[in-house]
Structure 1
Amino acid sequence: MRAITYSRFGSADVLELTEQPDPHIGPDTLVVRVRAASVNPVDWKIREGRLRGLIDTQFPAIPGWDVAGVVEQVGLDTTEFQVGDEVYGYVRKDTVQGGTFAELVAAPVRTLARKPSSLSFEEAAAVPLAGLTAYEAIRRAGVKDGQTVLVHAAAGGVGAFGVQIAKALGARVIGTASEANHEFLRGLGAEPVTYGDGLADRVRAVAPDGVDVVLDFVGGGVVAAGAEILADGGTIASIADPTARTEHGGHYVWVRPSVAGLDALTALFDAGKLSVELAQVFDLADAADAHRASETGHTRGKVVVRV
């Protein structure tokens, strides 16, 4: 099969299109013919070697954890699916080696759900890691109807899902973003504020009583700033700063694969309550350019690779 691989840590230049053996299928796995995958910041951080000691990488490594595709082969104990089913998932494994930037991927059944019928394969591939991250942060923070929620990096891949999920739960949402993305956030149902110095004052101007929940999807010290504008009894959830838990009594989220979470997202998509923004779509052979686009940190929505 064709696959994107790298045999050493480094810049996007280490990525190359190669021929690799078809993946092995185990009793509780499925082989999925990949139609699309997406880039997440963790992919290029792993590729650069930043996460050595936390995540094991075996060379040659095929990157990618997000997938949307069609079941090609079923394991002995995967009665949940049949050949031909359209699926999507967050195919995180203990070792980075057999990822989703390939024509075929072996995916543990615990990582896959049925693809939303309302989404294309490219759109569905953009969802799993980012969507589950937003969903889990919101679930742990206990967001509910009538609350005011502040979403940091609200126009990004995770943030845009966070805005919409919180809105679907009945929350009022304030989102931080550059002014260029304010109209986009209004379209998602959020009240935009510009990030940077003076943010707390700008949030207080629209929410004088403070906010009930702060969702940090960016890091860089916003947890401490968010603590200043929390209403009594409010909470913080962060995917980037462990001090949300250790110093502020909130939640630090490292998302896990979750069929239940994917099914909840699918229900929101198919009910018209959730949409996905694609920043750019690249062909598999151009995966290095897809990584470079994600590395800029200025994309709105998700970068996707079509296989």
Structure 2
Amino acid sequence: MVRAVAATAYGGTEVIDLIDVESRAPEPDEVTIAVRAAALNRWDAKQAAGAAGTDPAKLPVRLGSEAAGVVTAAGADAVSLEGETLAVGDEVYGHKLRGAQADELTVKAGLVVRKPPAKSFVEASGLLSNGTTAVHALETVGIAAGDIVLVHSASGGVGWLVSQLARLRGARVIGTASERNHDQLRSLGVEPVTYGDGLAERVRVLAPDGIDAAIDTVGTDEAVEVSLALLGDPARLVTIANAQFATVVDAGGHAIGGGAGADPGTAIRDAARLTLAKLFADGAIGVDVAQTYPLDDARTAYDHLVTGHAGGKVVLEP
């Protein structure tokens, strides 16, 4: 039997538990993976709460979409995302892996890529969901060399990758974060500012002529209000936070991701996966991991995630 994290009812973290499911042999185009790390995302907690529906017939709902591990079985036509035939013993990672928070997964081989030997399973498990969101945000507001971009929650999971990718494009990045994360951001070449009262004035000190673009990864009223106050063109504001979709779109900005009124950006995100994988393998980008937990402590890991102060990725290690 396979242990898997699931919502056994619809609700808060109290409904999250481990269940036993049957192991499944791979089809010709699939691989079975012994999971070494599975990253948590906020959508996982929302799904447990019923954001995708509350049909009791669908319970228990397995959780997770990102994982990294070792191939233990491969179908005859198991070809990875980068077009390589996979075999037993290969180390891989991927996302869009339904029910990824488990100690074993059988998935389409085309959803995974090879993990670089120098990278940990924990870090690899948290790259693609946040990374593809980050690329979508940057593309949406056209970040290019010479731009000054304000990244809200630059030390968060998505903001961390937005900041790195923007810097690689030649942009100057000003990032909001709590004081304790400022040194980390400086190590990325980001100019940190503390969020809270007076944020607009602190940003103006760093950028007296204003900013060129803003990326909201946190969803606070402050993030949106300050961005609009500092931007010359509201069309260069993008939010990934559902709570601000209507406000930002009404102001002339963009909303991306899941939810009403947002651009899912499926083609952009899918195309970004191999680019992100190469940058990751080359050491040009990395994933900030806030905390790891054993699979048995999945509920505690979700408690950490939903506090809103996790910072980097929260990861389970089966």
Cα displacement string for residues 167-203 of structure 1 (whole angstroms, at most 9, x for unaligned residues): 1111100001112222221122111111123222221
Secondary structure in 1 aligned to 2:58? strand
Which deviates more, 160-169 or 74-83? 74-83
> Residue type matched to 1:114 in 2?
R
**1:156 aligns to 2:164 (yes or no):** no
> Given the superposition, is the C-alpha separation of residues 184 and 270 from structure 1 closer, same or farther in structure 2, using an over 3 Å criterion?
same
Q: Distance in 2 between matches of 1:263 and 1:275?
A: 15
> Residue type matched to 1:246 in 2?
V
2:210–2:231 CA contact under 8 A, matched in 1: yes
Q: Distance in 2 between matches of 1:250 and 1:70?
A: 42
> Given the superposition, is the C-alpha separation of residues 259 and 115 from structure 1 closer, same or farther in structure 2, using an over 3 Å criterion?
farther
The corresponding residue for 2:86 is 82
Displacement, 1:298? 1.1
> Residue type matched to 1:251 in 2?
H
RMSD of aligned residue pairs (Cα, Å) = 2.5
**1:301 aligns to 2:312 (yes or no):** yes
Secondary structure in 1 aligned to 2:292? strand
**1:275 aligns to 2:264 (yes or no):** no
Which deviates more, 27-36 or 72-81? 72-81
Displacement, 1:249? 3.5
The corresponding residue for 1:95 is none
**1:262 aligns to 2:267 (yes or no):** no
The corresponding residue for 2:295 is 284
Secondary structure in 1 aligned to 2:100? coil
- Larger helix percent: 2
> Given the superposition, is the C-alpha separation of residues 47 and 249 from structure 1 closer, same or farther in structure 2, using an over 3 Å criterion?
same
> Residue type matched to 1:223 in 2?
V
Q: Distance in 1 between matches of 2:248 and 2:72?
A: 42
1:39–1:305 CA contact under 8 A, matched in 2: yes
Q: Distance in 2 between matches of 1:262 and 1:278?
A: 19
State the number of aligned residues: 301
What is the TM-score normalised by the length of structure 1? 0.88
The corresponding residue for 1:34 is 35
> Residue type matched to 2:95 in 1?
Y
Cα displacement string for residues 110-157 of structure 1 (whole angstroms, at most 9, x for unaligned residues): 532222343100111121211221122112222111111110011111
Which deviates more, 63-72 or 19-28? 19-28
Displacement, 1:211? 1.2
1:282–1:305 CA contact under 8 A, matched in 2: yes
Secondary structure in 2 aligned to 1:118? coil
> Residue type matched to 2:137 in 1?
A
Displacement, 1:46? 1.3
The corresponding residue for 2:261 is none
**1:250 aligns to 2:253 (yes or no):** yes
The gaps in structure 1 that reach 5 residues or longer are 93-97
1:91–1:99 CA contact under 8 A, matched in 2: no
Q: Distance in 1 between matches of 2:204 and 2:176?
A: 13
Q: Distance in 2 between matches of 1:43 and 1:116?
A: 26
1:67–1:91 CA contact under 8 A, matched in 2: no
Q: Distance in 1 between matches of 2:278 and 2:156?
A: 22
2:161–2:285 CA contact under 8 A, matched in 1: yes
Displacement, 1:295? 1.2
> Residue type matched to 1:6 in 2?
A
Secondary structure in 1 aligned to 2:60? strand
1:138–1:166 CA contact under 8 A, matched in 2: yes
Cα displacement string for residues 36-57 of structure 1 (whole angstroms, at most 9, x for unaligned residues): 101111111211224438x999
2:78–2:110 CA contact under 8 A, matched in 1: no
What is the TM-score normalised by the length of structure 2? 0.85
The corresponding residue for 1:16 is 17
The corresponding residue for 2:96 is 91
> Residue type matched to 1:141 in 2?
V
Identity of aligned residues (%): 40
Displacement, 1:27? 5.4
Q: Distance in 2 between matches of 1:117 and 1:210?
A: 43
Which deviates more, 256-265 or 285-294? 256-265
Q: Distance in 2 between matches of 1:274 and 1:9?
A: 36
Cα displacement string for residues 193-249 of structure 1 (whole angstroms, at most 9, x for unaligned residues): 111232222211111111111111011222243122113586112111324763244
> Given the superposition, is the C-alpha separation of residues 212 and 127 from structure 1 closer, same or farther in structure 2, using an over 3 Å criterion?
same
**1:201 aligns to 2:201 (yes or no):** yes
- Larger strand percent: 1
1:211–1:234 CA contact under 8 A, matched in 2: no
> Residue type matched to 2:136 in 1?
E
> Residue type matched to 2:253 in 1?
G
The gaps in structure 2 that reach 5 residues or longer are 258-263
Displacement, 1:260? 3.5
Q: Distance in 2 between matches of 1:141 and 1:108?
A: 33
Q: Distance in 2 between matches of 1:202 and 1:52?
A: 42
Secondary structure in 2 aligned to 1:18? strand
Q: Distance in 2 between matches of 1:79 and 1:157?
A: 29
Secondary structure in 2 aligned to 1:231? coil
Displacement, 1:75? 4.6
